[in-house]
Amino acid sequence: MEGSQIWLYDTTLRDGTQAEGISLSVEDKLRITQLLDELGVHYIEGGWPGSNPKDVAYFERVQTLDLKQARITAFGSTCRVGTHPKDDANIQALVAAETPTVALVGKSWTLHVADVLRTTGEENLRMIRESTAYLKAQGREVIYDAEHFFDGYKADPEYTLQTLQAAVEGGADLVCLCDTNGGTMPWEIQQIVEEVRDSLPDTVLGIHAHNDGGVAVANTLAAVQAGAVHVQGTMNGYGERCGNANLCTIIPSLELKMGLRPLPEGQLARLTYVARAVTSIANQPPDRHAPYVGISAFAHKGGIHVAAMRRNLLSYQHVDPEKVGNESRVVISELSGRGNLLSKAEEMGLDQKELQDLPQVLEQIKEMEYRGFTFEGAEASVEMMLHRSRAGYTPPFELIDFMTIVEHRDGRGLLAEATVKVSAGDQVFHTAAEGNGPVNAMDQALRKALVPVYPRIAEFELADYKVHILDSEAGTAATTRVMIDMQNGTRRWTTVGASANIIEASWIALKDGVEYGLLEGK
């Protein structure tokens, strides 16, 4: 089995869009199509052409793309009860989509035959057989999706196998076994796929799993172990209810754990990029903890772990992150050891000899986290602490004092004003600015003071500002943690401040953010 080809079938553009909160435009779908094709996915299911105008437009426009290898696939169901394929609007829409491959879904479970289709078992078999044969006669490659196959098999294995046989008799190129409700367990999947393989030894088998039981990836791998060579899923596991089998987890597991060939050689290193690009196009929050491709997938926080990894990178990583296009990260927190800071300093390109007192910085971090700071998501603040520990480090500016005022003025409503006095080199700047709030006013005043000396600051954008109340039982006297994101073009960095005074917490994060941006811009 090792080294065998696995055929990947991506249904992000159809099944993935059934997830709550995901709606892709035609342009979005075309961009994702190109990404998947460049990655090396073999089949891309574009949608259901008989269901909506958007999918019709997609199938028209996708024909203009210069795809390298992917076969665009249209999805639809068998003909309706009592009709023939040539008279069925859904079947004709599949033909009109002019895709080289069609995915035809039919009923496998007697419950659906009786209660949903409200027909007989024989009529359902006719619908499958004739629909498959008709599409084959139109010159299409036909993938038969056996809907609710595993539930149907557990209820009536004999009839469920007959539905597969009907598709094979109609000329289906492969049959894909679907765990549509997502409740089958891996050991059941493996056993049933093995039994189907024994019953239909000359039929190519596929697997389509949903994640309602939290085991869609495991079910997919179990099916492959049992003989399936066609794997369906979605990028990032998007899909209805709890999602579909996540191809971003399945692909590296197939290649790195099972020794199979799901992608062309060398393409696995593009996986993280494609996963994150699809996340962005779909306008979804990234899953930091996603296996293989998440930003935290190879993040190391515990001091003992980092110390071990400094000796051997495989000591706390199951694969080399570069193989999937990701990277290791060292997280700084109160759980950090000296190795965490050394690794962070190396990431920054700092020589250990430049750092005056690393243990003192570590103790400072632990003490500050006790007071409410958190450095896990604020790596720019950690880097500033390391910079400040360097021998001879001179900050680009230093605070002398600041003041903020918020008042209500008749005719103008609420007004925020801030004054800032800072030194930069041998100059002192004392400026004031208004804003829509005290933090915005303070940001504007600081910029006004420093732009004459550091013009780059005009390019810094305050991209995000988050406030978290730590000890809510203290009421208005609670400690407040502030996280600030700043960006300059494609560069983005995060800093943190904490204090019982929200203005002071904001100033700490703001000052670190500006100082970091100036250092990184050199």
Same-domain check for residues 271 and 406: no
Q: Which of 281, 313, 348 delimits the end of a domain?
A: 281
Residue 7 clears pLDDT 80, i.e. is over it: yes
Answer with the one of 247, 281, 315 that is the final residue of a domain: 281
- Write the pLDDT tens digit of every residue in 93-144: 999 999 999 999 999 999 989 999 899 999 999 999 999 999 999 999 999 9
Burial class (CB in 10 A: 0-12, 13-18, 19+), 250: buried
12-29 confidence digits (pLDDT tens): 999 999 999 999 999 999
In a domain, 344, yes or no: no
**How far apart (Å, rounded) are the C-alpha atoms in residues 46 and 36?**
12
Q: Tens digit of pLDDT for each residue in 284-336?
A: 888 989 999 997 887 766 555 545 555 566 666 788 889 999 877 665 544 44
The domain containing residue 110 runs over which residues? 7-281
Residue in 511, 462, 516 with CA at minimum distance from that of residue 485: 462
Q: What is the pLDDT of residue 146?
A: 97
Answer whether residue 441 is part of any domain: yes
The tokens for 40 are: 């090396």
374 or 177, which is more confident: 177
Q: What is the pLDDT of residues 145-168, one digit of tens each?
A: 999 999 999 999 999 999 999 999
Q: For the domain that residue 88 is a member of, what is the CATH number?
A: 3.20.20.70
Amino acid identity of 253?
A: S
The pTM (predicted TM-score) of the whole model is 0.73
Sequence-separated contacts (24+) of 413-417 with Cβ below 8 Å? 416/440, 416/441, 417/441
272 and 404 share one domain: no
- Whole-angstrom distance, CA of residue 331 vs CA of residue 299: 6
Give the integer Cα–Cα distance in Å for 147 and 452. 67
DSSP 406: E
Look up the CATH number of the domain holding residue 457.
3.30.160.270
Give the span between the Cα atoms of 180 and 456, in whole angstroms: 55
Is residue 294, in this structure, part of any structural domain at all?
A: no
Alpha-carbon distance 270 to 196, whole Å? 35
* Residue 348 included in any domain: no
Residue 330, Cβ neighbours under 10 Å: how many? Answer: 24
First to last CA, the chain: 53
Contact between 245 and 217 (Cβ < 8 Å)? yes
In angstroms, what is the C-alpha Rg of the chain? 29
Q: How many domains does the chain have?
A: 2
Q: Looking at 190-318, which runs of residues are DSSP E strands?
A: 205-209, 230-233, 299-300
